[in-house]
Structure 1
């Protein structure tokens, strides 16, 4: 007599690692619970409107962009908006104390927005006590600010490298690749600092240890592809409608950016604690 086959044990969904779409769904749910967070990414976009002329005057119609996570993903995360400027010693000399102060002030404001945004998202997604936005800013501002300053210094180093090399394209290209590699390894610092409520050094150590893992790489690829998928829509609005089109693109990108910030927060809640 044939022995009936034993049915396979059901797969426990709780044992399945969370995938990128799971984190994206949690990000969307969190923004649905706290929709005012969309205003944070919209305000962040206004900090970059010094680049508006480059977009309005561009001959581009559409652009495709791959992006790494940031604390405040906004319309500029979906645009290749940097104008084709040749970096020379003369250009560097024109950046005086006023411009440097403006860059630093922008980093301070962006850090405050990022600390509040990520603090609220961590409370919602992690099912913790949800802090008021100002309380989240006070709690997490310092490590997020240090991260923003580090990124700003990295951009400055690339500019100085371009000057020192005489604008050598190969040297600049290698510098950009190295910069992207470093950014890949550290982009999680502000998120880890928030979800673990720790300082910059502890968050940096934990993030670098995660950067070599498969979940980190797979999540980063999923994030980059999401930015790539939305960038044509955002860029068509931004490049095709003058300043009103750019403003509309910022409004369209704001909820997407807030959801992406929630997805990254969800990911680091699952791996960093």
Structure 2
């Protein structure tokens, strides 16, 4: 087992520090670099947003993100019309994106279950399962979480539509969605870390949400996304389709490390 990733080697006083989990995340991805392909595939699922991205007049985006099973290029961007919540971050989606979310839910669950399962194996004991084994083990709770997020997006879209696109309704919807997403985002990570079902994982995530370590980790994660988002988005907005492809390549290892960092945190907090 690599001393840099095993949980037993971390001093107790460092176990809640965001830099500690970030370091373990970097080490885990270094041991399985093929995992960066997962966010790349996930990015392709969101290419229904490409027209909006290319038509955008933005130069860069500053995004505060929450952990998600597969952080991809779209977690660092904010360039589409109607409001919604997706991929563990507050962003913007239109009607075509809602369809993409529905079609992509199963695939995202497969990708998320495989990615988190392999990362958890590396970080916990240095013996990761095969990607397919991780998928079969964790697919159901990760799928349930993805469905819950999609239902939230659809509910917000329907309320916005019913209000005639009222800016006030949209704002209230976002303000209501944020604390809910904050409380439940740990669900897929807990499910993988504890090898438990969706209900148990959801309950544990909500319980952890009231703790200081959870809040501090979330803050550290959000700040890291905020720091990375101008770089990634600057590439995506800069030079057309080639810029988007370059941004996707840059975002893939960053997103994989973010997923590994969150996995490390929840492995520690659920011990």
TM over 0.5: yes
- Which residue does 2:49 correspond to in 1? 51
Give me the whole-angstrom Cα distance separating, in 1, the residues matched to 2:136 and 2:195.
12
- Which residue does 1:16 correspond to in 2? 13
Sort the Cα spacing of 1:185 and 1:39 in 2 relative to 1 into closer, same or farther, 3 A. same
- Which residue does 2:228 correspond to in 1? 230
Give 1:17 shift: 3.8
- Which residue does 2:87 correspond to in 1? none
Which of 1 and 2 has higher RCO (CA within 8 Å, sep 6+)? 1
Gaps of 5+ in 1: 1-12, 86-93
- Which residue does 2:140 correspond to in 1? 142
Conserved? CA contact 2:40–2:252, under 8 Å: yes
Is 1:65 aligned to 2:63, yes or no?
A: yes
Give me the whole-angstrom Cα distance separating, in 2, the residues matched to 1:154 and 1:116.
24
Is the radius of gyration larger for structure 1 or structure 2? 1
Give 1:241 shift: 1.1
Give 1:15 shift: 3.2
Q: Per the alignment, in what secondary structure is the counterpart of residue 83 of structure 1? A: coil
Give 1:165 shift: 2.2
Q: Per the alignment, in what secondary structure is the counterpart of residue 25 of structure 1? A: helix
Query: Where in structure 1 do 4 or more consecutive aligned residues deviate above 4 Å?
Result: none
- Which residue does 2:24 correspond to in 1? 26
Give 1:128 shift: 5.3
Give me the whole-angstrom Cα distance separating, in 1, the residues matched to 2:236 and 2:46.
13
Is 1:240 aligned to 2:241, yes or no?
A: no
Give 1:127 shift: 1.0
Give 1:95 shift: 6.5
2:262 to 241, 256, 264: 264
Is 1:174 aligned to 2:172, yes or no?
A: yes
2:201 to 189, 194, 203: 203
Give me the whole-angstrom Cα distance separating, in 1, the residues matched to 2:95 and 2:226.
32
Kindly tell me the number of residue pairs found equivalent between the two proteins: 250
Give me the whole-angstrom Cα distance separating, in 2, the residues matched to 1:165 and 1:172.
9
TM-score (norm 2): 0.88
Q: Tell me the C-alpha RMSD between the 2 structures.
A: 1.7
Give me the whole-angstrom Cα distance separating, in 2, the residues matched to 1:217 and 1:63.
24
Sort the Cα spacing of 1:25 and 1:117 in 2 relative to 1 into closer, same or farther, 3 A. same
Larger mean Cα displacement after TM superposition, 22-31 or 56-65: 56-65
Q: Per the alignment, in what secondary structure is the counterpart of residue 72 of structure 1? A: coil
Give 1:177 shift: 1.1
